[in-house]
Amino acid sequence: MSAADPTSSARYALTRELAETCLARARTPLPAEVGEIARHTLLDWLGTTISGWADPAVAMLEATIREDAASPQATLLGSGFRTSARDAALVNGMASHVLDFDDVHLRSRVHPSVPLWPAILAICERDGLSGARALSAFAAGVEMQSRIALVMGEEHYQRGWHNTATFGTFGATLASCYLLDLTVEQTQHAIGICATQAAGLRAAFGTMCKPLHAGHAASAGVLAASLAKRGFTSQTNMLECDAGFIELYASARSDEAIAAALKDAPDFQARTIVFKYNASCYGTQAPIEACKLLRQPLGDRLDEIERIDIGVEPQYLSVCCIAEPATGLEAKFSIAQMAALTLAGWSTVDPESYSAAALNDPQILALRRRIVITPNPQQPRASTDVALTLKDGTRFEQHVDTSQPETDLARQAAQLGTKAASLLGERLHVEQVGPIVETVLRFDDVTNVREFISTFARALRAQQ
């Protein structure tokens, strides 16, 4: 029996353990490299959010939120409009995931920043909290969603759930509980409130609903913590109880299985976050990078390609293997389209590459139809083997693994600074971008997040 509910057949008090562990993690000073990685994620999130604001799906959601005219507590970053913290988290969350250009935690299959930073910044702006507090909330949120993923295993994703939507809601809830100074017991109630809201289907990949998942997760996390702070109750063992989250969203886990899953959990799982440099599903990243490398030996013999073989982890065939993408969103979930686009020399970042022109380009279409994607059970996640066979029998091969986090954090900061500057530069003058990047990379020195966001919003308004 669990400590929280003596009527439950489950004995492992997982909900309480995660509340205790993750809140304690937030209240402990971050190791220097974890704080640096957290700042990197914020910089990357900010750039992808602002760039994503131009997407029609974001405009539709913002228009809907504006109609309700909620209390002005937090800012919609791309427009400066102020609304409730929950609605700001919703819209900012969707905008940050709409390009599919955001970071990834591969072991949990979660895009960690898109449910976390929108919730964290909304509360920090509303309540005038510090940048250091925000960074601690982020690290704790990553810990929460990653530990639940360890317990749930691959079965959850295989059933068709979108982990960013489901586990991300728990991360946003835990981060919000920390920022709102909830007790362990209140946090257990918040986790229960969260569990009954967590949802999101992989069947929505390639549509406007996928980025909406991220926004909903952020907003639901703020709501769950806010309700729990007011005394709203739920089951305090909602993860492990009979017919609870684990059993319904995967299958029942024994006490021994739960303990084993958490026993060797890595310390500070934010350390294993990886970043994207191509604006598409992470399952397409390794094939893209392999095709970039193959362009050099291939030279000007593009028209001589007879066949393109791409080996990937089998599950990617149900994630990002749309054979005939008809929209830009579908293209981001098509290994064949992204590989053909890359071989043909198109940018994987420019919005034009996801336009009708790219989708109907004769050269890209011809290349795409020569691609054979083969599932390989031995292929590690986020890696690939690509082979180009020419009509004369010449063969070029390339293996790429994009699963490993960068170990040189200074190099990562430089790469992400360049990426963020390019994305922010779509809306800001170059002289405005530099100070913003510098401030984010020193975010633990920000004494009041509200002032940072106000300054950022003013800079955007000046360019409108």
Structural domains for the chain = 14-274 (1.10.4100.10), 282-401 (3.30.1330.120)
Alpha-carbon distances, residue 351 vs 143, 359, 373 (angstroms): 33, 12, 25
Strands 395-401 and 383-390, by their bridges, are antiparallel
pTM, full prediction: 0.94
Cβ atoms of residues 376 and 312 within 8 Å: yes
How deeply is 458 buried, as exposed, middle or buried, from its count of CB atoms within 10 A (0-12, 13-18, 19+)? exposed
- Please give the average pLDDT of every successive group of 10 residues along the chain, which has 464 residues: 41 94 95 97 98 96 91 96 97 98 97 98 98 98 97 96 98 98 98 98 97 98 98 97 96 94 90 97 98 96 97 95 96 98 97 96 97 96 97 98 96 97 94 96 98 95 80
Helix, strand or coil for residue 80?
coil
Alpha-carbon span 393 to 212, nearest angstrom:
46
Q: What is the gyration radius of the CA atoms in the chain, in angstroms?
A: 22
Report residue 372: phi and psi, to 5°: -120, 120
CA angle 187, 188, 192 (to 5 degrees): 110
Report residue 273: phi and psi, to 5°: -70, 140
| pLDDT for residue 3 | 40
Q: Long-range contact list for 416-420, CB < 8 A, 24+ apart?
A: 416/40, 416/43, 416/44, 416/275, 417/43, 417/441, 419/44, 419/47, 419/275, 419/277, 420/43, 420/44, 420/46, 420/47
From the list 331, 349, 107, the residue with the least C-alpha distance to 205 is 331
DSSP single-letter state for residue 454: H
| pLDDT for residue 70 | 85
Write the pLDDT tens digit of every residue in 33-44.
Answer: 999 999 999 999
| pLDDT for residue 37 | 98
List of residues 6+ apart from 121 with CB closer than 8 A: 74, 88, 92, 134, 449, 453
Half-sphere exposure of 192 (CA within 13 A, CB side): 22
Report residue 29: phi and psi, to 5°: -55, 135
Q: Per 3-state DSSP, what percentage of the chain is helix, strand, and coil (rounded to 5)?
A: 60, 10, 35
Cβ atoms of residues 218 and 93 within 8 Å: yes
Alpha-carbon span 386 to 399, nearest angstrom:
6
Write the pLDDT tens digit of every residue in 348-371.
Answer: 999 999 999 999 999 999 999 999
